[in-house]
A and B are shown apart, each in its own frame.
Chain A
Amino acid sequence: MLCRTASDLYWLSRYVERAENTARLIDLTQRISLLPERLDPGKSSTTAWRRGLDALGQLEPYEQTCGEIQVERVLRWLMLDADNPSSIRNCLFQGRELGRAQRGAITAEMYQELNTSWLDLEEASEGAASSDGVSPFLEWVKTRSAAFRGVTIGTMGRDEGYHFMVLGTSVERADNTVRLLDIKYAQGEEPESGSRDFIQYYQWSAMLQAMSAFETYRKTYRDAVHPLHVSEMMIFQQDMPHSLAVCTQTLHRILELLAEEPRSEVVRQAGALAARLRYGCMAEVQEQGIKVFLDDFMQRLEALTWTIVETFMTSTDIGAGLGSEAGRNVGAMVS
């Protein structure tokens, strides 16, 4: 597969996933900000939105462009603003442009889904930044993302291109899960096993709902919502699609398939990361401090994504790629 194709497909699936995850994060923030004030005393509703922006790494760009936090303005920024490269609108646009560039590498149905999302955006986003328009729009975004994923799984051959798309999805998802946890832990709250108050209960429930993970939680823990359990589920749970454990194991498995050398650096990094999540436990995380754990994870994930880009998506330069060593490589390819 062409380096350019691999890169485009990787980013295509990242953008699709990012649109959905941004919708989930808005959903979560919305739920938290709508909680009655007595459950979150002393905090105005803009605090939640500030935290939401911060989690997405959007606080600074937002304030530079739009000034002070204002709910409708934040919603517009995250959902529809053309100046925000990660707004849902721009994610859909980029996804469609990359899909168009790679329409030979994806199925016609996949392109049709991307194209439909873009063509329907204007209609779907009408009134989206008003308080009663948010939810229908977020639902629409999640449905569009699900439709694309469904068509991808249902129509695309399990070739290299598919694997690069899975890589993009997993990287973006892991990144997002950390950001969601970060919203809760940003102010230094550490999870405690027997947290009792209502605020905790509602806020953590909101997180589960935003992740569409409420049912899974109930089934797994058969218990009230405890911060510790929610964190454990989002980090270590083996059957929760957004958990860091599942994302990193997927990355490792796919990279093993893609890499020519089983002992290559990219596989090693992914394997080391996956093992930490596979064999780690909450007690360890608590000991280290969850904030420290999340920061460390983020750094390792970033390092891995750089190695992925370097290994597969950096065009072989004429000189560098075909020096004396790579000459053998070419020889092997000539048949």
Chain B
Amino acid sequence: MSSHPPYDEMYDAEGHIRAHYAPFAAWMDDTQDARIAQKRRQAEISFHRVGITFAVYGEESGGERLIPFDIAPRIIPAGEWKVLEAGLIQRVRALNMFLHDIYHGRRILEFGVIPESLVLRNSQYRPQMQGIDLPNEVYAHIAGIDIVRAGQGEYYVLEDNLRVPSGVSYMLENRKMMMRLFPELFATQSVAPVEHYPALLLETLQSVGPEGLDEPVVAVLTPGSFNSAYFEHAFLAQQMGVELVEGQDLFVRDDTVYMRTTRGPRRVHVIYRRIDDDFLDPQVFRPDSVLGVPGLFSAVAAGRVTLANSFGTGVADDKSIYPYVPEMIRFYLSEDPILLNVPTYRLRHDDDRKYVLDHLEELVVKEAQGAGGYGMLIGPTASKAEIETFRQQILAEPERYIAQPTLSLSTCPTFVDSGVAPRHVDLRPYVLSGSETMVVPGGLTRVALREGSLVVNSSQGGGTKDTWVLEG
């Protein structure tokens, strides 16, 4: 895979513009650089004013910064999207079935498809969830699946995010910004709308209310305004027209969750939580958490409130489980996986470990439970010392790591200081599961703004682009 030059989204190997980028290329030719530069400045000012900002861990409190927005869109032709959509829905259905299974009959472990210890000894496995029935048997109501494209344009799933995936507000705000700055672009091509995402999210959340209620009361639970993704929490609550609550606004009485309102306690049926499991209920998980709601877990267990996503989804998006997802799809759905998995070396196997230690300078090594681009070795760009450090860590605790070939992520033209240049991108579509599983056509495209960099995480200097799925 790494022998190919990166796949470019806009130009083919001969340097010709791909058909689905032709209208955009023509627009770029016709539009004066000065106008584009002015619009780029406008976008930045506007993001600041609107307050679409992101607090970065490790910076001083109040350190808000913008995620750089690039105005060159990432365009996906209709045919490609059709395959992606089917593959995403298939994958998330299987992941939800897996979660239901391991917290109930554990058939998949019984059949030996996945080693039992990998699941039951996983720190993200929540034994408390064993035997608890959830509405529609859905655990991950909102899933963000990270997709990359390698040398010949084939799509791979890089990572499943089933805990509290973020970024969807940028998908929506980026589209709003593009339509405001360049309305003429949308006249040249028919771009599938994404603006109905909040409506679908609300529908999804309401469809999993407890006790078959028609109009369950939904709330978004946030850690508070100092959280890096607070903008998104408030944005989604507002777009759905539901309350944005903090732990202190809720209390549990007789396994029932109430909000403290100006008119007294009001029952909440579905909580879209944006707080990690560990902090959700000090009675069951971290006792020092002040962000959560004491008693929340027992309310879930009693079926009096639905949590989205549920407790215990982390065991399914763990990187040590990731290699088994294609097997899950075959096991639960009796279908062949539509989307590819990146080949993954499991370092607890002797053969794999030996190979990885011999080829560290070619591989990407990740912590099985790391996130956000932290705790990661990218062999081809790492120094000898960094490689040595990882070698020692792998030898000490092989089960903590996985390794994958370094994918040459596809590139997309991007505005940088020197003009327009190719930069690596990935894609995170959002999959919703309630009474049915669906995907809004699009997602968040992240772009590594540094030349040659493969790290697209916003916490590490990545930017975003509007993502266009063409209607065909």
Contact = CB atoms under 8 A, between A and B. Distances in A.
Given A115-B49, A333-B265, A103 B238 contact: yes
Interface string B243-270: 1111011010100101111111111000
B50 interface: yes
Given A2-B259, A316-B264, A330-B264, A104 B253 contact: no
Nearest to A160: B262
A260 B248 CA distance: 24
B286 interface: no
Contacts of A335: 267
Contacts of A1: 243, 261-263
A100 B253 contact: no
B265 A4 contact: no
Interface string A92-134: 0000010011111100100110011001000000000000000
B48 interface: yes
Nearest to B233: A104
A259 B457 CA distance: 48
A3 B261 contact: yes
A3 B262 contact: yes
Contacts of A108: 50, 238
A318 interface: yes
Given A316-B260, A326-B264, A4 B246 contact: yes
Given A101-B225, A103-B51, A104-B238, A312 B262 contact: yes
A2 B260 contact: yes
Contact of B251 (A5, A6, A112, A318): A318
A112 B234 contact: no
A8 to B, nearest CB: 10
A266 to B, nearest CB: 11
A333 B266 contact: yes
A3 B249 contact: yes
Contacts of A316: 251, 260, 264-265
Contacts, number: 93
B265 A322 contact: yes
B415 interface: no
Query: Interface residue tally of chain A, by bracket?
Result: 35 or more
Interface string B449-462: 00000000000000
Contact of A104 (B244, B258, B263, B266): B244
A3 B50 CA distance: 26
Interface in A306-335: 312-313, 315-316, 318, 321-322, 326, 329-330, 333-335
Nearest to A314: B260
A321 B260 contact: yes
Contacts of B259: 2
B261 A329 contact: no
B271 interface: no
Contact of B49 (A4, A119, A326, A334): A119
A228 interface: no
Given A111-B51, A119-B49, A105 B261 contact: no
Contact of B264 (A102, A258, A333): A333
Contacts of A119: 48-49
Interface in A1-24: 1-6
A35 to B, nearest CB: 41
A318 B260 CA distance: 9
A334 B267 contact: yes
Contacts of B263: 1, 260
Interface in B387-439: none
B237 interface: yes
A287 to B, nearest CB: 40
Nearest to A116: B49
A330 B256 CA distance: 11
A296 B292 CA distance: 45
Nearest to B243: A2
A330 B262 CA distance: 13
B206 to A, nearest CB: 15
A1 B266 CA distance: 9
A326 B267 CA distance: 14
Contacts of B231: 103
Contacts of A318: 251, 253
A312 B220 CA distance: 22
Contacts of A105: 238, 244
6 contacts: A2-B259, A103-B234, A116-B49, A316-B251, A316-B264, A334-B267
Q: Which 10 A-B pairs have the closest CB atoms?
A: A104-B234, A104-B244, A104-B237, A104-B238, A101-B225, A103-B234, A312-B262, A315-B260, A329-B264, A115-B51
Given A4-B248, A108-B238, A330-B267, 13 more contacts: A2-B243, A97-B225, A100-B51, A100-B225, A103-B51, A104-B235, A104-B243, A111-B51, A116-B49, A315-B260, A318-B251, A322-B265, A326-B264
